[in-house]
Amino acid sequence: MPSGPVRVAIVGTGGIELAAAEGDGGPWFASVYQHRFGGAQRRLKGLADSAALGRPLLAVCHPTWFRDQAYFDVPWRGRWDTEGGGPTMGHGIHQMDMLLDVLGDWAEVRAVARRQARRTRTEDVSLAHVTFASGAVASVVNSVLSPREESYLRWRTGGGRRCRQRRAGARCRWSRGSMPRRSPGGR
């Protein structure tokens, strides 16, 4: 089971035949966005689902990483037919999935994808305004032009609660702000 976009995972492995043969009885192919299953994400999702945080209002999702031109000079990188897209699909997809996991279905997306600095067939930066079915809104920025290399997710709710995740390199820090504390011995 691969991680990430399904189309890319099945290219070169009989994907066309698999897609053509798939029906109600299979064969089946699945992928996983594993960040949904981390402890902090599960806790945040549980709090959101229980309404302990209040109604979701606003979110920020900014996976801003750095890839130099040499990264894109590899023949298969930065191409729609081999990667299925640029940094939006290949780099920021996991953080966007975490956002969707907490906020639910989206209702509208207004976005732009651009090549700002790298010679590539895909984008090197994308920006989106997302409106969710709940009425919450989010700002999403994906970039491979940011030397600081940070993934940043933040949620704000009507209950005055906030939650923030920052990921820089291998470290991941959550700030609970005014989130409800765990009960003694609780999970």
> Taking the domains of the chain in order of start, what are their residue ranges?
1-32, 36-175
Pairing relationship of beta strands 56-66 and 137-143 according to DSSP bridges: parallel
**Residue range 36-175 in CATH 3.30.360.10:** yes
Buried b / exposed e over 107-139, threshold 16 CB at 10 Å, is: eeeeeebeeeebebebbbbbbbebebeeebebe
pLDDT computed for residue 53 by the predictor: 85
Average pLDDT taken over every residue of the chain: 80
**Cβ contact 59:99 at 8 Å:** yes
| pLDDT tens digits, one per residue of 150-184 | 988 898 888 777 777 766 543 444 454 544 444 44
| pLDDT tens digits, one per residue of 3-25 | 655 555 555 544 545 555 556 66
Is the pTM higher than 0.85? The answer reads: no
**Cβ contact 83:8 at 8 Å:** yes
